[in-house]
Amino acid sequence: MRKLGIDYGDARMGFALSDPLGIIASPFQVYIRKRTDEDFKYIACLIKEKEVDTVIIGLPVNMDGSSGERAEKSIAFGDKLKEFCGAKIEYIDERLSTVSAERALIEGNMRRDKRKEVIDMIAAQIILQSYLDKKTADMRRNTSS
């Protein structure tokens, strides 16, 4: 089963998907938000169509590690998504994911106007890959104990 990474925002959401083995995250798409119920229906269809078993939402934690308004919005979104479609939801610290995405796109010589179109899905890829890497490291640690 695949994992779906979401970079949640007020206007757009970036989506990334893992491979079926849960090793590699790939950017999938940028979704322009509509009404909340439409957003949830779209994500529920995506979960079913892509055979997703876990949704990973980036948690925009403050640099000092505290949770702010953006983190609370992301958690509220995840709670409502779980209620809507029963998806398993997990969160991962996404500090600097958008900065990392921007840096990668600049290094790839992508023009500013094009970067704006894809940055959210690249941030979602970074969020999802962080989650996958952490799960792999946790598994290795548990099997070596």
The three state secondary structure string of the chain is CEEEEEECCCCEEEEEEECCCCCCEEEEEEEECCCHHHHHHHHHHHHHHCCEEEEEEEECCCCCCCCCHHHHHHHHHHHHHHHHHCCEEEEEECCCHHHHHHHHHHHCCCCHHHHHHHHHHHHHHHHHHHHHHHHHHHHHHHHHC
Q: For residue 95, is pLDDT > 90?
A: no
User: Which of the pair, 60 or 96, is modelled with greater confidence?
Assistant: 60
pLDDT in tens, 39-76: 999 999 999 999 999 999 999 887 777 778 889 999 99
Residue 114 burial class via C-beta count within 10 angstroms: exposed 0-12, middle 13-18, buried 19 and up: exposed
Q: What's the predicted TM-score (pTM) here? A: 0.87
> What pLDDT, on the 0 to 100 scale, is given for residue 104?
74
Q: Which of 128, 130, 136 is nearest to 27 (CA)?
A: 128
> What pLDDT, on the 0 to 100 scale, is given for residue 139?
79
Give the chain's end-to-end CA distance (angstroms, integer): 27
Confidence of residue 8 (pLDDT cuts 50, 70, 90): very high
Domain boundaries of the chain, sorted by first residue: 2-144
CATH domain 2-144 topology: Nucleotidyltransferase; domain 5 (3.30.420)
